[in-house]
Amino acid sequence: MNPPLVACLMPTAGRLHLLPRAMRSFSRQTYPNRILIVLSNNPEEDEVIASLRITPDIITHAAVPGKTLGYYRNVTAQLAVAAGATIAVHFDDDDWSHPERIADQVAALEASDRDCVGYRSGLFWLEEEGRAWMYSNGLKCYCLGNSLCYWLKVWERAKFPELRRGEDYHWLREIDALGLAPEEPRIIAAVHNGNAVNYPIEQQAKSSISWRRAAEWDEMCRKEMAL
């Protein structure tokens, strides 16, 4: 029996220079039955995005520009359902994912009675400074938005709110989420000038125990996040 088809959902705009890194991360995943849905919401990039469809496991789509991130999340999820996927994984266009990430999360989702699994901690790579930081949040209802893995049947009854940002955290309030804590980080999030959210990490670290400098991960981040 084949494992469930997993759709990695990747809305993108203005990050053509970062896409090869994210797509390389997808191609190295060990989970066998997967597709990548790349959604362009920038008309000037549609043709280039479409040219990325070089293998059957990559689906590209041009979306109406000027909508919210929540809207684009819903479009990618709908495309995943149409492709026959039963599980969705958020696979951001500027992140790196450990090769075992999809396999680990799918196994955790199937073994649980929860709607969604995700990570409460993750690495953030300050690209200009060349420094790694670790973010950890112990709240029971919290998962990093870029780490969500969920049943698409759950999405069909609870769509993402059409917000420009924070749509994932609002969505988590509507479902039964589960946080995972692997021994090693499974995601590296890039911090750069094009982020949708401003990350003044070093300032936040002065007043929040959620952030810590993770110098032990600098070398690995530098290697995996190379463009």
**Tens digit of pLDDT for each residue in 12-68?**
888 888 888 898 999 999 999 999 999 988 888 888 888 876 677 888 888 888 898
165 vs 149: CA distance, rounded Å: 18
Write down the domain spans for the chain.
6-224
> Left (φ > 0), alpha (ψ -120 to 50) or beta: where does 3 sit?
beta
Per the CB < 8 A criterion, the answer to whether 226 and 145 are in contact is: no
What is the pTM assigned to this prediction? 0.91
Q: What angle do CA 188, 147, 214 make, to 5 degrees?
A: 30
Give the CATH architecture of domain 6-224.
Answer: Alpha-Beta Complex (3.90)
Does 196 have pLDDT greater than 60? no
